Chain A
Amino acid sequence: MAAVTSTGLPPALAPKVPKRRSTESPLTHGRRGPGRVIANVVGLLFTVIMIFPAYWVINTAFKPPNEVLSFTPAFWPENPTFDNFKSAVNAPNFLLDLRNSVVITLSAVACALVVGFLAALAIARFRFYGRRSLIMIVLIVQMVPFIALLIPLYLTLNAVQLTNTLPGVTIVYLVFVLPYTVWTLRGFISNVPKELDEAAMVDGCTRMQTFYRIILPLVGPGLVATSIFGFIQAWNEFIIINTLNSPEKQNLMAWLLQNQTLRGTTYGPLMAGAVITSLPVVVFFLMIQKHIAVGLTAGAVKG
């Protein structure tokens, strides 16, 4: 459990959300009666409060301008329209920035996955001098605010002429998701029992063969989850690219921020843009949530 929590990995990945209708203890939890009713009411109230902002963004996105800018906001669009979405998609740079987002995020995550997997393998499967320090570095680096490093990052990229380029930002994002990737994959790899490796080697596999015949397939779901979460992190980032790159080399999140400041109160298209931008991330997130419920059960109880 801690393995996963500590990474900042959404424990959605970690904790299997138990469906425990039948196993509930009659003494503490399965109580019927007024207690249960009150709990249910509070639970529903909580659900409504939590979900309200999400509902409100969708509600706004489908409203025509006169309904958005109304002093008595309606809780349902009276004349639902796709105009906001159209105007968001047709806004300057939307498609360009969408492409940038996809390219940057995918390449950063792919590289982070390869580099991170190798490092995670080293940490999880080998004892070597400096291992503890490496773990420390990986942990510390996850906590250093990237914003603090923007100036020196700019200078460093400038030294190799990568400022204001997409590859430059991609490398930064790669490093941005790397510590997390190493840390999570390390957890996944350590969850593959070492006895399996040993058995494979006894049966005559080389180390290399052990890696791609035993560890890789078993870590597969972990690789998927880690890469998706890396994707989410890189996709959501905007301040680094916004600071390092000129306006024509932004990603979708930065585009959204620029639109917010440029357009003032045109909330309809802004909220439509927000829906479009968060859709892939939300879908991905819900995907791994399901994936991991099975895949990480072992990880969740490690300790």
Chain B
Amino acid sequence: MDVLRSSPVTVLDTAGAQRDVQSATPPGRRGSRFRVTKKKATPYLLATPAILLLFGLLGYPLFRMTVLSFQNMRLRHLLRGETPPWAGLDNYKRVFSDPFFWTVVRNTVVFTVVAVGLSVLLGLLVALLMRRVSAWVRIGMIIAMMLVWAMPPLIQAQIFKWMVDADFGVLNYMIDQIPGVNFTNHSWWIDSVQGWSVITTLVVWGAIPFLAVTLFAGLSQVPRDLVEAATVDGANAWQVFRNVTLPILRPLIIIVTTLSVIWDFQVFTQIWVLRDSKPEREYLALSVYAYTESFGRSNYSLGSAIALITVLLMLGVMAFYIRQMFKMGDVE
């Protein structure tokens, strides 16, 4: 890295000298002063289109959303393009004093904790299992996971919706086969615990490939000598895992866990599709709630406030993630 920072001039000068020797074949690069200013401007020129786009369609809307959350925008303002009246902190007061909002927060947090915990744990177990099985089984596992991973989330959710269908779903049929259990016409959505279990299963099922494959790759970077040394010293499998593998894998586990938290906290597609685009109140997660408030009930300002709170709630995790990225030196 430092090479470029400290010695570009030297490099260029050498190039210049070389060019003289080589009888000036390549064109370009005339005066050295011009070269330096041009070099300084280059990165900015390169990054400008991206920066403009990001600011225009992410930065500005984010600002707009913040303003919106302090206004009171309804459908007529949207249709007529009028400036909505200022509402100050009203939206936030309304949100925070609404017990239902806290129910949604609780649902979202519980879901995130359970889904992330399960997916990381299962992902790790699968990765470890992949190290133990025969090659042909491993190939089968990888193919299955790649298929799941490749499937669009919308379609994953539609398949699950079909499988848990009350009348013709295959899940009820299979559970029915267990003697003494009657799941005919059983609806999975009446009891919200069961409903959330379906949502969680879908999310975990969809997340395992990413986690297992990543962690498996991480596992294969654990130095074999270390494992062997520990084994020679009498460590059993668990001790090897606990004291050798896990510490080496830790940074990777932290990263994938953080990412999973960020993704699962924003869960939308799965709920939206499973509940046929009109989720019941007990199946609202924060982002779904923000969406239905905005577009279902035209409370655009209230929706914005909820969306902003969602982002703020995640800010801690995001900051942690970014710090981790910088710490790993990956960014440099």
- Interface check B190, CB cutoff 8 A: no
- Interface check B36, CB cutoff 8 A: no
* Residues of chain A lying within 8 A (CB to CB) of residue B147: 50-51, 54, 282
* Residue among A172, A175, A202, A256 making CB contact with B54, cutoff 8 Å: A175
In the complex, are the beta carbons of A261 and B58 less than 8 A apart? no
- Given A149-B58, A282-B147, A143–B262 Cβ distance below 8 Å? yes
Proximity bits, A247-264, B CB within 8 Å = 1, else 0:
000000100110011000
In the complex, are the beta carbons of A239 and B269 less than 8 A apart? yes
- Given A18-B220, A179-B54, A43–B129 Cβ distance below 8 Å? yes
Tell me the chain A residues, 1-34 only, with Cβ under 8 Å from chain B: 1-3, 5-6, 8, 10-12, 14-21, 25, 27-29, 31
Q: Which residue of B lies closest to A135 (CB)?
A: B331
Tell me the chain B residues, 145-186 only, with Cβ under 8 Å from chain A: 145-156, 158-163, 165, 167-170, 173, 184
CA distance A165 to B62 in the complex (A): 22
In the complex, are the beta carbons of B58 and A144 less than 8 A apart? yes
- Interface check B116, CB cutoff 8 A: no
- Interface check A95, CB cutoff 8 A: no
In the complex, are the beta carbons of A47 and B205 less than 8 A apart? no
- Given A46-B129, A209-B26, A285–B150 Cβ distance below 8 Å? yes
In the complex, are the beta carbons of B290 and A29 less than 8 A apart? no
In the complex, are the beta carbons of A158 and B81 less than 8 A apart? yes
* Residues of chain B lying within 8 A (CB to CB) of residue A8: 259
In the complex, are the beta carbons of B46 and A121 less than 8 A apart? yes
In the complex, are the beta carbons of B56 and A198 less than 8 A apart? no
Q: Which residue of B lies closest to A70 (CB)?
A: B168
* Residue among A71, A116, A204 making CB contact with B168, cutoff 8 Å: A71
Q: Which residue of B lies closest to A8 (CB)?
A: B259
User: Of the 9-residue stretches A83-91, A123-131, A218-226, which lies at the interface with chain B?
Assistant: A123-131
Tell me the chain A residues, 60-78 only, with Cβ under 8 Å from chain B: 60, 68-73
- Given A6-B330, A56-B162, A56-B170, A206–B150 Cβ distance below 8 Å? no
Tell me the chain A residues, 251-293 only, with Cβ under 8 Å from chain B: 253, 256-257, 260-261, 265, 267, 270-271, 274, 277-278, 281-282, 284-286, 289
Q: Which residue of A lies closest to B295 (CB)?
A: A243
Proximity bits, A129-157, B CB within 8 Å = 1, else 0:
00100111111110111011111111110
Q: Is the interface of A mostly helix, strand, loop or mixed?
A: helix
CA distance A174 to B65 in the complex (A): 20
- Interface check B234, CB cutoff 8 A: no
* Residues of chain A lying within 8 A (CB to CB) of residue B189: none
In the complex, are the beta carbons of B4 and A152 less than 8 A apart? no
* Residue among A148, A256, A300 making CB contact with B158, cutoff 8 Å: A256
CA distance A60 to B155 in the complex (A): 13
In the complex, are the beta carbons of A119 and B47 less than 8 A apart? yes
- Interface check B95, CB cutoff 8 A: no
Proximity bits, A190-210, B CB within 8 Å = 1, else 0:
000010001001111111110
Q: Most chain-A Cβ atoms within 10 A of its Cβ — which of B161, B328, B330?
A: B330
In the complex, are the beta carbons of B146 and A12 less than 8 A apart? yes
CA distance A213 to B19 in the complex (A): 18
- Interface check A104, CB cutoff 8 A: no
CA distance A209 to B196 in the complex (A): 56
- Given A150-B295, A204-B26, A118–B273 Cβ distance below 8 Å? no
Q: Shortest beta-carbon distance, A32 to chain B, in Å?
A: 10
- Given A54-B151, A72-B173, A148–B290 Cβ distance below 8 Å? yes
Q: Shortest beta-carbon distance, A283 to chain B, in Å?
A: 8
- Interface check A93, CB cutoff 8 A: no
* Residues of chain B lying within 8 A (CB to CB) of residue A121: 46
- Interface check A301, CB cutoff 8 A: yes
- Interface check B216, CB cutoff 8 A: yes
CA distance A19 to B139 in the complex (A): 9
In the complex, are the beta carbons of A194 and B137 less than 8 A apart? no
* Residues of chain A lying within 8 A (CB to CB) of residue B42: 122, 126, 207
- A–B pairs, 12, beta carbons within 8 Å: A1-B252, A5-B259, A28-B240, A36-B134, A51-B148, A119-B50, A122-B47, A155-B61, A158-B81, A257-B273, A270-B158, A303-B329
10 nearest A-B pairs in the assembled complex, by CB-CB distance: A15-B217, A148-B307, A285-B150, A119-B50, A152-B64, A152-B61, A126-B43, A122-B46, A122-B43, A39-B132
4 extra A-B contacts, CB within 8 A, seeds A21-B135, A149-B62, A256-B158: A46-B126, A53-B148, A148-B310, A209-B26
